[in-house]
Each structure stands twice: as C-alpha cells, then as structure tokens.
Amino acid sequence: MSGSDGRRVAFVTGAAGLLGGACTDRLTREGWRVVALVRDRRPGAALPAGAVEVRGDFEQAGRAIRQYRPSLVLHLGAQSQVGAGFLDPAETFEANVRGTWLVLEACRSLPAGGRPEAVIVASSDKAYGPSDAAYTEATPLRPRGPYDTSKAAADLIARSYAASFGLPVVVTRCGNLYGPDDRNPDRLIPHVAARLARGLPPLLRGTGAMSREWLYVDDAAAAALLLADRARELAGCAFNVGGGERATVKQIVERLVAVAAESAGTDGPDAPAPPAPLYSAGEPDGEIQHQSLDSSALYGLGWKPRVGLDEGLRRTFDWYRSHPGVLA
C-alpha cells in the first residue's frame, strides 16, 4: 500500500544491520517510504533520511505492520552468529523462529486486500547443514547447531505461510555477507579489516582452513529486491544467493593483508607493513567446515553478482580505513 504521501511503504526488520541497511538505502533511493524496525543499533549506525524508525523487538513488528500496511516486507532481522547460538540457544530460537512467525502472522492477519504484495524472509546457507557438495535448493535441510536449526525452522515456517495462507513469501539463502559499514565485530571480515586499518594484528578464532562462499552486500540486496518484484509468481520458493567465489578464511585474511599493504604503500616508503594475523590452534565449535552454493536458479531470473571478491574486499577495507574508530 501507499503512505499518506503517495509513496509505496516497505517494512524492514534488521534495518540497522548489514543487509537491512543496504536494502533500506536502496529502497529509499527508489522512492519508497521505509518503516525500519531497529532493536539494537550499533554506535554510529544511521538510517537514511526520511525513514520511519520503530524501536523494539518483533512484538513491535506486528504492531507496525498493522499500522503502516506495507506493500513490501523484508524480514532480515535475526540473531546472526553461530557462536551465539551455542551460548544462548533459547534467545537464538526466540529471535529467529518466533520472530519469523510473529512477522508472518501480522501479515496474514491483515485484511485480504491490505496484505503485502511481497514478503522476503532471509534464511541462510547454514540451514542446509554440512555437505560435501555445493548446495542446490533441492538439498535437504539437515542442520545441527542451534543457529543453523533456527534458520532452517524459520525457512520452513516462511514457506508454510505461502503454501497454507497464500502469502507471497520468498526465502533467500545467502552465503557469507560482507561489505562496508558492517559494525558487527564478531564477523570475520569487519574484524580483520578494522584491525589492519588500525595497524593491529587480526585475532582469528580458528586455523583459517574453513571455506565459505562470499557475497558482497549490495549484490545480496539486489537479489532480495528482484525476488520481491516477482514474489507473486515465486511464492513459496527458496533461492540460493551466492557470490560465486569460494575462499578459505586464511585466503580472505591474506587478501585483506595484501590490500592493507598496498594501502600503506600510498603513505610513503617508511609506512609500517601490516601486522601478521594470529590464528588459533583449533576450529570454533559448531561451525560447518566448508560451504558453497549453486545459485543457478537465481541466475535464471536475471540476477548475477556484480562485485567480485577482490574488489569487494578492497572497498570494505577502504571503508574501515576511513572510519578507524568504528570497531575500536
């Protein structure tokens, strides 16, 4: 539906997060009126001018959906860390599972003519669980840990609302997201980039052997909004969203060190070399060792990643270099 000013209304959970921020920025540029649910805003994080901020948890999401009657709902808010799921599984299930059904139930409870035209729910590649091969959308969901299970449960719940109640819900299963302005210090790339930008050694929680498929955040936002445009015909489907480039943690760290060294070279020949990363002896508990995605279904809809890994890491490091106190 449109707001009082005639603009279409989008409701975004997790709007102050990495993907939520990218989607909110893009929607604002495209003329949408964005209603942004924000539970925790990290220092310095800002919403675009004109966005309506709703502070609170997913209980407030339902109230906001009923008040603003959005035509687009992007449910991107979640407890997003594997390790946190082991430390507090109840909170992880509360946020990721209950939070999902609260948002979907609010959409379902609207009058038939006032329901959203598209609902995008962010699942994760973690929902698949361990696999020796690249995941396709036909790969069974076989999660093990609390975080992985919470995302699989939310994935199933979301698709059930499409099948049972006719909601135009589409699920995204993204690879590991990264990009500028990620203020979560527990994620690999912001931690490493921010430490190198300050001349400090990155402190790694593993040996660097784990591998992931990496996806620049702007490409993830483009995928979500493409699927939103076609939600009616794709309702009940899930789509893998991968950047097409798989790399180990060590390879990511080495690339960032190389970017940092190149950047330091612009400061003159006496600039100090980047400090050496410090790795741990073992891998963190509960992490899937290797993951990659087959995103050919999404390619078939006309999407493709536009920012390669080297360019994305360079953009990301440059942002942290110009914002040295963000993760201090």
Residues marked active site are found at: 147
Nearest to 33 by CA among 58, 56, 5: 5
Distance CA 149, CA 128 (A): 9
In terms of DSSP H, where are the helices of the chain? 18-29, 58-68, 82-87, 89-93, 99-108, 146-165, 188-197, 217-229, 231-234, 249-265, 296-299, 309-322
Residues near 115 by beta carbon (within 8 Å), at least 6 away in sequence: 107, 108, 167
The upper half-sphere exposure of residue 32, i.e. CA atoms within 13 Å in the direction of its Cβ, equals 24
Distance CA 155, CA 120 (A): 11
Question: What are 183's strand-pairing partners?
Answer: none
> Is the separation of the CB atoms in 149 and 78 below 8 Å?
no
Distance CA 93, CA 90 (A): 5
Distance CA 102, CA 146 (A): 20
Q: In what order do the strands lie in the sheet with 176-178?
A: 176-178, 211-216, 245-248
The upper half-sphere exposure of residue 192, i.e. CA atoms within 13 Å in the direction of its Cβ, equals 27
